[in-house]
Amino acid sequence: EVQVVESGGGLVQPGRSLRLSCSASGFMFADYGLNWFRQAPGKGLEWVGYMRSKATLGTTEYAASVQGRFTISRDDSNNIAYLQMNGLKIEDTAVYFCAGKHFEVWGQGTLVTVSS
Amino acid sequence: DIVMTQSPDSLAVSLGERATINCKSSHSLLDSSNNKNFLAWYQQKPRQAPKLFFYWASTRESGVPDRFSGSGSGTDFTLTISSVQAEDVADYYCQQYFDTPYTFGRGTKLEIK
C-alpha cells in the first residue's frame, strides 16, 4: 500500500523544538521530492516547505513564515523524512501533513500544539 | 507570491445538481515549455487529510469519480461536479505549484441544500 505516516506531534512550549517524522512505504521514496504542509485549527491549507530528491540536488525551500526556524531532511535508506521545528511560536499550532510522490500521497497528519 | 483567489467560499447544491468552484491565480500557471498548468485540486472531508483530485489542472487522479472535472488554463480554473452526491460534501482547495511558495485558495465548503 502506498502511504506516508506522520508522527512526533504533541504539546510544546513557545520557543522550544520538536521534530516530526514522515515514514513512507509502497513507492520509491528516494525518487521524489517531499512536501510538508500544515493546517491551523479551522483554517485552510498552508505549504511549509519542500525537499527535492537527491537526484535533483536535494535542495530545500521554505515558506517565509518558517524560514530559518524549520529544516527538512530525509533518510532515503529508511524512507523517512523529517521536519525539525525550532523556535516554535503559538501560531505554528496546526496539524502537519507530509505529502510524497509529488502531492499524490498524504498522511493523516500529526497535531502540534504550541502553548505555555 | 502567487495569490490564489477561490470562489465561492461556500456552496449549497441540491443532490443531482451541478456545482462549480472557481480559482483564479495572480500569475499564469501555464508553462509554455510543456503546455501544462501547474494547478491542483484537493478534496478534504472533516477530520481527514486532503486528497488530490486533479493535477495539471485537468488530469484526474486515479479513483476520482468522473462526475468531477477540472478545466481552465493560464490564470482561470474551474472544478465542476456534474451531479452532486451526498458523499461530495467536503472542502475543496485549489493549489498552484508553478513556483514556491506553493499557495492555496481559501477553500470552498460544499454542502447539500
Contact B30, B73 (CB under 8 A): yes
pLDDT in tens, B5-35: 999 999 999 999 999 999 999 999 999 999 9
pLDDT at A101 over 90: no
Mutation target to probe the B interface, by most B beta carbons within 10 A, among A47, A52, A110 is A47
- What is the nearest CA distance from A15 to chain B, expressed in angstroms? 24
Amino acid at residue number B94: C
C-alpha span between B76 and B57 (Å, rounded): 10
Q: Which three cell numbers stand for residue B101?
A: 511558495
pLDDT in tens, A27-76: 999 999 999 999 999 999 999 999 999 999 999 999 999 999 999 999 99
**A47:B49 CB<8 A:** no
Q: What's the rounded mean pLDDT across residues B83-105?
A: 98
Contact B31, B24 (CB under 8 A): no
**Which residue numbers of B have CB closer than 8 Å to A's CBs?**
40, 42, 44, 48-52, 55, 61, 93, 95, 97, 100-107
Omega before residue B8 within 30° of 0, cis:
yes
**A109:B49 CB<8 A:** yes
**A103:B101 CB<8 A:** no
* Residue B49, phi then psi, degrees to nearest 5: -75, 155
For A110, the closest chain B residue by CA position comes to B49
